[in-house]
Structure 1
Amino acid sequence: MFASVLVAGAATGNLPGTEGGTPADGAPAAPSGHHADVTEAAEEAAADGASPMEAARRAVSRSGDRWAAVYSESEYEEFEEALDGRYTGVGLWARERDGRIEVTKVGDDTPAADAGIRVGDRLRSVDGEKVDGRPVTEVVSILRGDTTGERAGTTVRLGLERGSRSWHETVRRARLSRDTVGVRRLASGVTVIKVGAFTKGSGEEVRTAVRQAPAGAGLVLDLRGNSGGLVAEAVTAASAFLDGGLVATYDVDGEQRALHAEPDGDTTRPLVALVDGGTMSAAELLTGALQDRGRAVVVGSRTFGKGSVQMPTTLPDGSVAELTVGHYRTPSGRGVDGHGLTPDLETGEEEALRRAETVLGGLGR
C-alpha cells in the first residue's frame, strides 16, 4: 500500500487485494524482476539472520518504484485501521511537491489544528529529522511514531515553514477518527457531498446521501483534497450516479481487469464534481469515470496524477512490501498516472463552488 491514507494524506487506491499509487503513464510499473528482487533480498536476509524488512527496503529504494513501500507488521495493522477511519497521528494531510512536503489539509479538532498549522504550510522536519526529498511514506511513518514505537499521547516536534516564516511546533499524537463523508445543503438548494477519503463504508454513505437529497436538487460531489483510499469504495460511490457499466480498467502483471458500477444509480440529477491538485488515486478513478461517461461536469484544477496499482507481499518476518504491478485507466482508456485529469471547467479554489452552482443552474434548465 502506498502510505497511511489518513495520517498524513498520502493515500492509496486499493482494490480487493490491490492498492493504487503512481509512476508515469505508459511506463513499466517498476524495473523487470522488481518483485523477485525484493522477495529474494528479504529471504536471503532471513537466512543470514539479518532483517528481511530492512533488506526489502533497500531493494525497494534501488528499484525505481516510486510508490512502493515496506511496512513492519504493526505499521501495516495500523494502516488497515486507517482504512477503517481510525488512526494515530496529529491530524494533518500532506503530499510531496517538488521534493518538499506540503500540508494539504488539517483536520478539525486535531492536534495539528490546535497548533495553528494551515493548508499550504511546508513540513521541513519531524523530531529534528529533515523530510525534504523523502518519500511521503517515510514522513508518515515518522509522524506516527512507527519508527520508534511511539503511539497516542507521545509528542512530536514539527519544523514548519509558511512563506518567509520558519518555526517549530510540538504537538501530541492522538487517537483520531474521521467521518469521511459530509453532506450540506446550500441556500441555492444544491446538495454538497464532501468525500475526504474512501475508507470502508464511505461508498455506501455517498449512495445514501444521493438518495436522501431533495428531489430535483443539483448535486456537487466535492473530491478536493481527497487523497484516495479503497478503490472498491470509489466504485460503490460511482454506483450512486451510474446505471452499471464500466468505471475503470487496470492491469496486474499484464493481465487486464475491469471494475463495474452496480445498476440503478441516479443518472438524471445534475451533477458537478469538484477536484484539485489534492484529488488522488481512487478519487481520480471516480472522477475519470463520471467525466468519461458524461455523467458529471468536472470543475476545479488538474488532479494529482496517481494511478498505479500496488499489491502486498508478506515477507519472512511478517513485514509487508507493497509493490507496483500495473496501472489504472478511465473508461475511455485515459491513463491518469503522472498526468492527472483536466477539469471540464478550470477555476481557482475560492470560486470553484460558486462556479459549480452556476453550472448546475444551467444543467437544471
Structure 2
Amino acid sequence: MSRPCHDMSSRRRVRRGAALACVFAGVLATGAATGSWPEAADGTELTAGGDAGQVVSRSGDPWAAAYSAEEYEEVAQRLDGEYVGTGIAVIRTADGRIEVSEVHAGSPAERAGIRPGDEIRTIDGTGLDGRPVTDAVERLRGSDQAEQAGPGSTVLLGLERDGRAWETDVERARLSVEPVTVDRDVPGVTRIHVSAFTRGSAEALRSAVEALPEGDRILLDLRGNAGGLLTEAADAASVFLDGGLVATYDVYGTEHALHAERGGDTATPLVVLVDGGTMSSAELLTGALQERNRAVIVGSRTFGKGTVQMPSEQPDGSVAELTVGHYATPSGRTVDDGGIVPDLVVDAGEDAEAEARTVLDGLAAGR
C-alpha cells in the first residue's frame, strides 16, 4: 500500500479512509481514488440536501465519504494518477508487521533513504502493532491533521532495518505515479503490475501487452490494487478477451453491462496474482478473467468489495460519495461476501510469485 494518498483539509471527513481506500499497493495508498466508480454518473441524481457530511451521516452507508469542494478536486487528480504523499507503498507481512513494499522513484521517501523491506514501527509516535494496513495508510497520508497534511507537511516515521531502529521526518509532496509497470526479471515471463485503475491505465496495459517479447508469458500482478474506475477495469479486460460480458452493475436498481471489445490477446498464457489488497474494480477484472477461463488466478482471497459509488455535489459545493449499487461477475456472482478465491491458493509465507511462474510454465507446456 503506497502511502501517497492525498488528504486535504477535512471539514467534513466521514469514513474517508474506507471509501477512498487509496490506491497503490495494499490499498494503493499511493493515490488514486478507489471504490468502483463508473466513469461518470450518467446524469443520475443522487441524494442531496445540506452539506456532504450531513448526507453521508444520514445514509448509514459504510462506504460513503464526504469531501469539501477542494478535497474532491484532489480526488479527481488522483484518478488522473496524481496524489499528495511521501512515496511509500506498504504491505502487512505474514507475521503482522507493516513493511515498505515500494518506494516511488524521486519521492521524499527515497530522498530520506527509505528502502523496500524496511519495517515501519511507528507513525508520528503511534505504534502500528495490531493495526490494519489501512490505518497505517491514513496516518501516512495525514488524515487526522486536516489542512496541515498537504504538500510540505511532514510525518515522523519510526523504522527498523536489519535490527537497527531509527526515526526520520519525511515530507509530503505532490507526486504522480504510473499505474502500470513492467519488468522481466525472469526470462520468458513479463510481469505487469497494475497498481490502480486510474484514467489511462487500461491503455498502458494494452501497450505493455503489445510490446511483449515473442514467446513470453504474462504475469498480471493485481496485488494491492484497491480499484478505481469501472470503465478502466472493463477496458483492461478487453486487452485479454475477444468481446463478451465483463460484468454487470446497477445504479439504484437500473442494470448496466460492461462488455469487452473484440480483438484482445486470447492466446498468451496468463496468470493473475491477487491478495487481500485486491479490491473493487480489480476484483471485477479478476472475476471476469477467471470466469471467462482466460487466466489462472493465483494468490490469496481478495478483499471482497463489490459496491459501486458515485459522487453527488451538494448545494454548498461539497461532495457526497454514496453507494448506488453493486457489480457482479459474468456468472452473476457478487464479491461482497468473501471476495474471490484464487484457482491456486497460496498460503501466507509462501512465494506467490514463484507459484505463479510455475503455473505459467505449465500453461506454456500445454499449448
TM class by smaller structure? 0.7 to 0.9
Structure 1 CA distance for aligned equivalents of residues 66 and 142 of structure 2? 16
Structure 2 CA distance for aligned equivalents of residues 183 and 347 of structure 1? 23
Structure 1 CA distance for aligned equivalents of residues 109 and 141 of structure 2? 15
Closer/same/farther in 2, CA of residues 105 and 194 from structure 1, 3 Å limit: same
Taking every aligned residue pair, what percent have the same amino acid on both sides? 49
Q: How many residues align?
A: 332
Structure 2 CA distance for aligned equivalents of residues 166 and 207 of structure 1? 43
Superposed, which structure 2 residues align to 1:178-327 within 5 Å? 178-327=177-326
Q: In the alignment, residue 13 of structure 1 is paired with which amino acid?
A: S
Structure 1 CA distance for aligned equivalents of residues 239 and 298 of structure 2? 19
Are the equivalent residues in 1 in contact too, given 2:29–2:137 (CA < 8 A)? no
Pair 1:75-2:71 in alignment? yes
Structure 2 CA distance for aligned equivalents of residues 313 and 137 of structure 1? 28
User: TM-score scaled to structure 1, two decimals?
Assistant: 0.78
Are the equivalent residues in 2 in contact too, given 1:302–1:343 (CA < 8 A)? yes
For residue 361 of structure 1, report the CA deviation from its aligned partner: 1.7
Structure 1 CA distance for aligned equivalents of residues 274 and 134 of structure 2? 24
Tell me the residue number matched to 1:22: none
Tell me the residue number matched to 1:364: 364
Structure 2 CA distance for aligned equivalents of residues 310 and 127 of structure 1? 34
Structure 2 CA distance for aligned equivalents of residues 280 and 337 of structure 1? 10
Are the equivalent residues in 2 in contact too, given 1:94–1:102 (CA < 8 A)? yes
Tell me the residue number matched to 1:16: 39
Q: In the alignment, residue 250 of structure 1 is paired with which amino acid?
A: Y
Question: Partner of 1:284: helix, strand, or coil?
Answer: helix
For residue 137 of structure 1, report the CA deviation from its aligned partner: 12
Deviating more after overlay: 105-114 vs 238-247: 105-114
For residue 146 of structure 1, report the CA deviation from its aligned partner: 7.2
Are the equivalent residues in 2 in contact too, given 1:89–1:144 (CA < 8 A)? no
| 1:331-359, Cα deviation, whole Å (9 max, x unpaired) | 11111114111110111465222222221
Q: Any stretches of 5+ residues in structure 2 without a counterpart? A: 1-15
Closer/same/farther in 2, CA of residues 183 and 161 from structure 1, 3 Å limit: closer
Q: Any stretches of 5+ residues in structure 1 without a counterpart? A: 20-34, 44-51
User: TM-score scaled to structure 2, two decimals?
Assistant: 0.78
Are the equivalent residues in 1 in contact too, given 2:81–2:176 (CA < 8 A)? yes
Tell me the residue number matched to 2:86: 90
Deviating more after overlay: 278-287 vs 137-146: 137-146
Superposed, which structure 2 residues align to 1:317-356 within 5 Å? 317-348=316-347, 350-356=350-356
For residue 247 of structure 1, report the CA deviation from its aligned partner: 0.7
Are the equivalent residues in 1 in contact too, given 2:307–2:327 (CA < 8 A)? yes
Closer/same/farther in 2, CA of residues 178 and 133 from structure 1, 3 Å limit: closer
Are the equivalent residues in 1 in contact too, given 2:38–2:310 (CA < 8 A)? no
For residue 185 of structure 1, report the CA deviation from its aligned partner: 2.1
| 1:3-26, Cα deviation, whole Å (9 max, x unpaired) | 14357257322212259xxxxxxx
